[in-house]
Structure 1
């Protein structure tokens, strides 16, 4: 009889969930102090004074940050380039897609295998609007993702797409539809279960987890771990272990279907990270 498989958690943290530091060396040291080995790195959020637009990205920059983090045995798991890929201004939309492609071009120098983004909003600012749920908005997403994935295919890189209620990819079913339209192994998914929950559906989170794994489990490249509470009829992020997210069920699902998947803690800020790690490790036993 086979033994029960125990999965050691492959946890990661977003760099900008730490207090902002002046140097990458100090940020790397602080992450290392937590015992974590992986980072989702959003350059403009962690180091806003460093130019990080299309024309600024270069292999030397990637080598610089990879070298600093690797000294602390930390890998840049995901390079973030969150853009509004369906920006209503077509010229601005093309500039943002070009920016994303510039991140794809240098991601290997950072040591990352994927570049992540959400799917934007029909308005300039990202927010909840049912205008995002139209077929017109979805077709704009398909058009933009095709451009990005076509470029990623030339580079052997992965475009990691994150869905959520503030975007045209507002449900697991819509994510499956996007995957079917793109039809490329160079598009993968970052699953954030909380992003798909409304105040009236939080009790159905197990069903949402099962649906996501059933529809696109093989294409999940990473998971965002984000806890929440319902407050003033809103799903509000809180530190991991202090809310209503069923992490025990989610971690069991990962251990069964995606062992050692990158699990990226989100919206858990620096003072709460040690407690969050301890909580996740405890329920993973």
Structure 2
């Protein structure tokens, strides 16, 4: 049920693969979100210096230890104003769709992007222009996904291009691909304007997308001085009882995301304790 974003455990090398695996097992995680170049410092971001044999070796050892790769990360800025950066990101995403089957993974993940290089909010992020760029990219990706029998994944974010349930639903309908899935991060869809409607957001997300949600990111938040502050799960006000009950209903796993290493055991235990009451 509970996984982790693997590079939150630290940075390793391919030669230190066994240490990497033992670190995952030490916390008792059953699955991971794997960003290859962030977990293994000797793999470059575009996988130009790693062989298929090496990828298969990593995948084989994870499988032998019953560690599932739920998300293979290929995050990039989908509407980057730097066209070269955007093209490189698209190429990497397509490559990840091809290698996902090596890891027997569920989905290749990305966020929708911003017109600001640093991913901060830009009013144009919510424009039709930005939506069309994301839609066109996923139309291209869908051909690769369908050919390889793998899934595309998008993580909607309140300040970025695909930013609320209505826009996600429109993208689903416009794309019309069985290979398109959602990575649901409740905190990423919450802003100061809607945080008091978090229960409605969670209810609606599961009601509309059901088993098209491939995994949930576990974060938490507080409100201070009219600003949202991200904190580790169990230290904020996200309604985890509601979230976990919906996940249990639809048999969806979750991933601790952006949780400092010193909080991993606390947050994992917090989630487990709630699950045990459901």
Deviation at 1:59, TM superposition (A): 2.6
1:179 correspondence with 2:164:
no
In the alignment, is the contact (CA less than 8 A) between 2:46 and 2:92 conserved in 1?
A: yes
In the alignment, is the contact (CA less than 8 A) between 1:40 and 1:76 conserved in 2?
A: yes
1:84 correspondence with 2:71:
no
Q: 1:280 to 1:164 in 2, by over 3 A?
A: same
Query: For residue 116 of structure 2, what is the aligned residue in structure 1?
Result: 123
Query: For residue 9 of structure 2, what is the aligned residue in structure 1?
Result: 18
Residues 52-67 of structure 1: matches in 2 within 5 Å? 52-53=45-46, 55-56=48-49, 58-67=51-60
In the alignment, is the contact (CA less than 8 A) between 1:78 and 1:114 conserved in 2?
A: yes
Query: For residue 268 of structure 2, what is the aligned residue in structure 1?
Result: 277
How many residue pairs match? The answer is: 274
Deviation at 1:58, TM superposition (A): 4.6
Q: Secondary structure at the residue paired with 1:12?
A: strand
Distance 2:242 2:51 in 1: 41
1:248 correspondence with 2:250:
no
Distance 2:167 2:49 in 1: 34
Query: For residue 144 of structure 1, what is the aligned residue in structure 2?
Result: 137
Distance 2:198 2:136 in 1: 30
Cα deviation 1:235-273 (Å, max 9, x = unaligned): 2221111111111011111222x12x1211112222222
Among 184, 207, 211, the alignment partner of 2:204 is: 211
Deviation at 1:56, TM superposition (A): 4.3
Distance 1:85 1:167 in 2: 10
Deviation at 1:76, TM superposition (A): 1.5
Query: For residue 40 of structure 2, what is the aligned residue in structure 1?
Result: 47
Q: Secondary structure at the residue paired with 1:112?
A: coil
Deviation at 1:109, TM superposition (A): 1.2
Distance 1:178 1:46 in 2: 31
TM-score after normalising by structure 2: 0.92
Deviation at 1:131, TM superposition (A): 1.3
Deviation at 1:164, TM superposition (A): 0.6
In structure 2, list runs of 5 or more residues that go unmatched.
none
Query: For residue 161 of structure 1, what is the aligned residue in structure 2?
Result: 154
Cα deviation 1:147-185 (Å, max 9, x = unaligned): 112211111000011101231101011111111110001
Distance 2:238 2:194 in 1: 12
Distance 1:85 1:57 in 2: 25
Query: For residue 214 of structure 2, what is the aligned residue in structure 1?
Result: 221
Among 30, 33, 37, the alignment partner of 2:26 is: 33
